Structure 1
Amino acid sequence: MARRIPPMNPLRVFEVVARTQNLTLAAQELHVSQSAVSRQIAVIEGYLGVELFRRERHGVTLTRAGQAYAEEVVPAFDAIANATARLLRSTSQGALRVRTYTTFAAKWLIPRLPDFQAQYPSIEVRIDNAIPDVDFDRDPADVAIQYGDGRWPRVSAELLFHDEIEPVCTPAYLRAHRAPRGKLEPLLRHRLLVSHYRRTDWDDWLAFSGLSEIVQGTERMSFGSSVLTWQAALDGLGIAIGQTAMLKAEFDDGRLVRPFARPLTRDKGHYLVRPTVQRESRKVAMFRDWLLETVAREKADALEP
């Protein structure tokens, strides 16, 4: 049997009048006129078929039936209000929870976080590292940064930058393994360093560059993450595929070089991901704006001669 629940707007008006015992105060709390309050009371009394208030010259008072009803309805609205407050506090207060990959966190986000903290010292940032795509209903995250084509269900995705890849190695490795007169193809005949989660990067770049045949029989050494793969390149173990945006510091200080200078830009990229339905808290808005401004500034700086 279906439960009978009165129309919610008249019920809400009854709760406020019963709690305040005053039509004027109830109208002020509800931001409506006193006559509108009276009409809603008449609606719920008509629905229930019970007189809930006595109309007197100096206002209204609860009938015995109205008092009994109010003793259960008012606490129910209190419970709803408290539950709503707790829910909103959990999403708008506390640390900003950012979910992303270890590589993005270590090589892009964390080096730039001091700038965010300088601008917004009151916002604590907590970074959670995970590989699977975010599920905001399951995962404790306010925002996520993830790799893909930007088409994920039930989320809003904003592109930060496309994935750009090309081989990288140390200057010493380049000097030791390139052929006389600067020919670079011999670099590909020694050892290719491969990231487990980006296993196709080498083959994609080689096909793009028309160099696939050169690596037939070349040794490949695999690592559990891109961070470890690039560390192996820094230690001179071989030549790796670099993600351009992640290795800015290494390029700037000369620890890694891009000998072929032939980047492959993919359709996929890194996206800022938020729930489609989200009460936009200040901390999320500040982080989003800072992130997009940082990306835009670095793109502009890269275009300068």
Structure 2
Amino acid sequence: MVRHLPPLNPLRVFEAVARHKNLTLAAKELHVTQSAVSRQIATLETYVGTPLIMRESRGVTLTRAGQRYAEEIIPAFDKLAEATGKVMEKNVQSVLRVRTYTTFTAKWLIPHLMHFRQRYPDIEVLITNAVPTVDFDRDGVDIAIQYGEGDWPGTQSDLLFRDELEPVCSPQFLAAHPESQHDPAALLKGPLLCSHYRRSDWDDWLSFADLETVAKKAERMSFSTSVLTWQAAMDGLGLAVGQIPLLKSELESGLLVRPFARPQYRDRGHYLVRPSLQRHSRKVTAFRNWILQEVRDPEENLV
């Protein structure tokens, strides 16, 4: 069966004219000129092969064919508007899809997320973890937390915190090397615990601290994630490079210590990233406002 679909832009214009019975009001609603409305109506009349409106001094009236046509299409446009509104409402109010890294999720986001749930109980947060740079068209997420310099094309980004690197270990590992109390560099004989996705951290910090030579012959043990690397450090297997903003709880509780007290601050950091052209929905705005406040003062976000 052949579907006789008219050109949709002229149809949209006719629907507005049929409701208002006035070209000027229709043009104002559609944000176009009155002459543009007239041209679109003429295009539709040519397509259907019959006049649809009659121009009068006080506005327009519909022809008999135009009246029958309007009675069919106005409810159809109402249904389209209703369906679109439902989709937009669901998108705005239901699930916030956040993409980030496993390490950030485990060490920062999950410990803080209860504050967001207390403030916005109607917003469900769905977290996915992945390492590659987010592609909002491909990945189907609303917002992302990424590590880098904040300059990803087609996005807006807010800095959460800069990268702060420093070696950490367990108190037990430190106690097993009493000579380190006078010379922390003694700990660099190893093992040095490394994360697969942060392989350069040790070399960067050693260069920063001018200790490459001391650690040149140290054994290195590699783990697939920073979470596992830091767990190995807490279990006393060796010395790891910590991302200090992600280890606040472990450092405050004494599970990890900072024997060198020589942090390295880098230009890279963790950013909240969102599409440049994204509609500013309530859920995205709420999460952005919350997390920016949370990195400054978590206590202010408590209900």
> In structure 2, what is the Cα distance between the partners aligned to 1:225 and 1:103?
7
| Segment drifting more, 195-204 vs 52-61 | 52-61
- Residues 99, 128 of structure 1: 8 Å contact kept: yes
1:225-246, Cα deviation, whole Å (9 max, x unpaired): 0000000000000010000000
Name the SS of the counterpart of 1:229 in structure 2.
helix
Name the SS of the counterpart of 1:179 in structure 2.
helix
Partner residue, 1:23 = 21
Identity %: 52
Name the SS of the counterpart of 1:249 in structure 2.
helix
Partner residue, 1:62 = 63
Instruction: Report the alpha carbon displacement of residue 76 of structure 1 after superposing the two structures with TM.
Output: 7.0
Partner residue, 2:244 = 244
Name the SS of the counterpart of 2:206 in structure 1.
helix
> In structure 1, what is the Cα distance between the partners aligned to 2:161 and 2:37?
57
Partner residue, 1:124 = 124
Q: How does 1:162-177 map to 2 (within 5 A)?
A: 162-177=162-177
After superposition, the CA RMSD in angstroms is 3.3
Instruction: Report the alpha carbon displacement of residue 95 of structure 1 after superposing the two structures with TM.
Output: 1.2
> In structure 2, what is the Cα distance between the partners aligned to 1:170 and 1:85?
55
Partner residue, 1:135 = 135
1:65-87, Cα deviation, whole Å (9 max, x unpaired): x3576588657746753664365
Cα distance change, pair 262–89 in 1 and its aligned pair in 2 (3 A): same
1:110-155, Cα deviation, whole Å (9 max, x unpaired): 1011111111111111111111111110112111000001110111
- Residues 168, 241 of structure 2: 8 Å contact kept: yes
Do residues 14 (structure 1) and 14 (structure 2) align? yes
- Residues 97, 142 of structure 1: 8 Å contact kept: yes
Partner residue, 1:233 = 233
Partner residue, 1:219 = 219
- Residues 192, 221 of structure 1: 8 Å contact kept: yes
- Residues 21, 59 of structure 2: 8 Å contact kept: no
> In structure 2, what is the Cα distance between the partners aligned to 1:229 and 1:58?
76
> In structure 1, what is the Cα distance between the partners aligned to 2:170 and 2:42?
83
> In structure 2, what is the Cα distance between the partners aligned to 1:181 and 1:161?
31
Instruction: Report the alpha carbon displacement of residue 171 of structure 1 after superposing the two structures with TM.
Output: 1.3
- Residues 143, 284 of structure 2: 8 Å contact kept: yes
TM-score by length of 1: 0.82
- Residues 101, 131 of structure 1: 8 Å contact kept: yes
- Residues 194, 240 of structure 2: 8 Å contact kept: yes
Cα distance change, pair 86–138 in 1 and its aligned pair in 2 (3 A): farther
- Residues 13, 41 of structure 2: 8 Å contact kept: no
Cα distance change, pair 257–39 in 1 and its aligned pair in 2 (3 A): same
Instruction: Report the alpha carbon displacement of residue 53 of structure 1 after superposing the two structures with TM.
Output: 2.4
> In structure 2, what is the Cα distance between the partners aligned to 1:147 and 1:141?
17
Letter in 1 for 2:64: T
Q: How does 1:1-305 map to 2 (within 5 A)?
A: 5=7, 8=9, 11-18=11-18, 20=19, 23=21, 27=25, 32=28, 42-47=38-43, 48=45, 50-54=50-54, 60-64=61-65, 66=66, 70=70, 77=77, 81=81, 84-85=84-85, 87-89=87-89, 91-179=91-179, 182-297=182-297
Structure 1 residue runs of 5 or longer lacking an equivalent are: 299-305
Name the SS of the counterpart of 2:136 in structure 1.
coil
TM-score by length of 2: 0.83
Letter in 2 for 1:23: K
- Residues 184, 259 of structure 1: 8 Å contact kept: yes
Partner residue, 2:301 = none
| Segment drifting more, 113-122 vs 179-188 | 179-188
> In structure 1, what is the Cα distance between the partners aligned to 2:290 and 2:122?
15
- Residues 54, 63 of structure 1: 8 Å contact kept: no
Instruction: Report the alpha carbon displacement of residue 14 of structure 1 after superposing the two structures with TM.
Output: 1.4
Cα distance change, pair 4–128 in 1 and its aligned pair in 2 (3 A): same
Instruction: Report the alpha carbon displacement of residue 60 of structure 1 after superposing the two structures with TM.
Output: 2.6
- Residues 194, 202 of structure 2: 8 Å contact kept: yes
Letter in 2 for 1:185: A
- Residues 180, 186 of structure 2: 8 Å contact kept: no
Partner residue, 1:303 = none
Cα distance change, pair 44–127 in 1 and its aligned pair in 2 (3 A): closer
Letter in 2 for 1:296: R
Structure 2 residue runs of 5 or longer lacking an equivalent are: 299-303
> In structure 2, what is the Cα distance between the partners aligned to 1:15 and 1:69?
9
> In structure 1, what is the Cα distance between the partners aligned to 2:33 and 2:187?
82
